[in-house]
Structure 1
Amino acid sequence: MSAKKMIALISAALMTAVLIIGICNALAIYQFSFKDETHTADCAIVAGAAVKGDVPSLVFQERLNHAASLYRDGYVKKLIVTGGYSNFNALSDAAVARRYLLSLHIPDAAILVEDRSQVTRENLRYAKTIMAMNQLHNALIVSDPLHMKRIMLMARDEGIEAWASPATTSRYRSFSAKMRFLLRETFWYSVYCLYRVL
């Protein structure tokens, strides 16, 4: 067999393997999106999302609405909002989230702010520090359903005792929106899994 054919076979095998892994990961992410482990915990960590000036994006609002419900229903006593400064905003994403929760009549004393993070894993890493400072030992993780598998894996890697509590009113409702989110999450979940083994 010529070297050119050998390279072509190896390339085809690698592409097939990547495709199979991607499909398996997408299925795992989709199945996990239905998992809801909500029960009492010391706090809820709300995954950061985009803001527009001093207003949370619709995606972020739904995560915050869910967190507010967890507080009102007595599942948690503290809410940790996460997210640093983005798009040259004067306020951090977490500060915007705090303002939004206050508008929902969540007491200021119940809101803890993590405003250093730029990516999901930093959301969790810095939130864990806040947990330790406030003697909070476990957490519900709040994000969109299709984000939950990756963020829960990251929470475990950060050593946080946590349970999944996906936002039940996620803005990703239409088939096309869910598919775009799923494709994006499949990519980033696959990248993170590769990062973990390297």
Structure 2
Amino acid sequence: MKLLLNQKLRRYLLLVVVITVAVVEIPIIAIGYLTKPVPSDTIIVLGAKLIGNQPSTMLRLRLDEAVHLYNEGYAPTVIVSGAQGQDEIASEASVMHDYLVAKGIPADKIYVEDKSYNTYQNLLNSKSIMREHGLRQAIIVSNSSHIRRSLVLAQQLGIEASGSPAPMADNAYLTAKQYAREGAAMLSLLVLRQ
């Protein structure tokens, strides 16, 4: 009898976990693939880890998406956002700035926000830059796994924004890890909002 109860409890818990993962992960995946940018006043590129003084693969993919958007005329300015992490030799924003300039975006069209350590701070500080320069609408650029949470936070902060998902790294382990991380972050965001 006790063994049967333990099996039922395990099945029930497994079902709860599967449903929770589906409810949280499916919207993250869907929005990461379906979101399209809308022409705006600026492009906000959210920071990610550096490798030495170079963008990591995930960050490079974000920056390349911003270059594409800028060259296609989606927005006349770019905000790069990210502080210097403890294990980094420069701020993410300064490396992002240099990368974009090397790709042909004029330096005077790039605003540097180098005080933020997380997505909430990225967007809050970018909103201040937008206000300072009279920018009303933004396209948020991050990797597909990160777009949903970025858009939810932007909405909470009162930023009128669309998203432009950059691809994920061509690495199954890294991709799975990023989606799991975002699932946990979205779950925490949804729980804390209640």
Give the TM-score taking structure 2 as reference length: 0.88
Kindly indicate whether the alpha-carbon contact (under 8 Å) linking 1:68 and 1:101 is maintained by their aligned counterparts in 2. yes
**Equivalent residue runs for 1:44-63 within 5 Å:** 44-63=43-62
1:111 equivalent in structure 2: 110
The 1:33–1:138 alpha-carbon spacing in structure 2 relative to 1, beyond 3 Å, is: same
1:80-129 superposed Cα distances (whole Å, 9 cap, x missing partner): 00001112544211011101111111100110011000001110000000
Output the CA distance in 1 between the equivalents of 2:87 and 2:23.
38
2:147 equivalent in structure 1: 148
Kindly indicate whether the alpha-carbon contact (under 8 Å) linking 1:35 and 1:164 is maintained by their aligned counterparts in 2. no
Q: CA deviation at 1:172?
A: 2.5
The 1:180–1:91 alpha-carbon spacing in structure 2 relative to 1, beyond 3 Å, is: closer
**Equivalent residue runs for 1:1-198 within 5 Å:** 17=16, 19-167=18-166, 170-197=167-194
Kindly indicate whether the alpha-carbon contact (under 8 Å) linking 1:34 and 1:145 is maintained by their aligned counterparts in 2. yes
Identical positions, percent: 31
The 1:13–1:195 alpha-carbon spacing in structure 2 relative to 1, beyond 3 Å, is: farther
Output the CA distance in 2 between the equivalents of 1:194 and 1:39.
30
Output the CA distance in 2 between the equivalents of 1:31 and 1:160.
22
In the alignment, structure 2 segments of 5+ residues that lack a partner are none
In the alignment, structure 1 segments of 5+ residues that lack a partner are none
The count of aligned residue pairs is 188
Output the CA distance in 1 between the equivalents of 2:90 and 2:174.
28
Output the CA distance in 1 between the equivalents of 2:172 and 2:58.
16
Q: What secondary structure, in the 3-state scheme, does the structure 1 residue paired with 2:34 have?
A: coil
Matched letter for residue 20 of structure 2: I
Output the CA distance in 2 between the equivalents of 1:92 and 1:140.
22
Kindly indicate whether the alpha-carbon contact (under 8 Å) linking 1:36 and 1:164 is maintained by their aligned counterparts in 2. yes
Kindly indicate whether the alpha-carbon contact (under 8 Å) linking 1:140 and 1:165 is maintained by their aligned counterparts in 2. yes
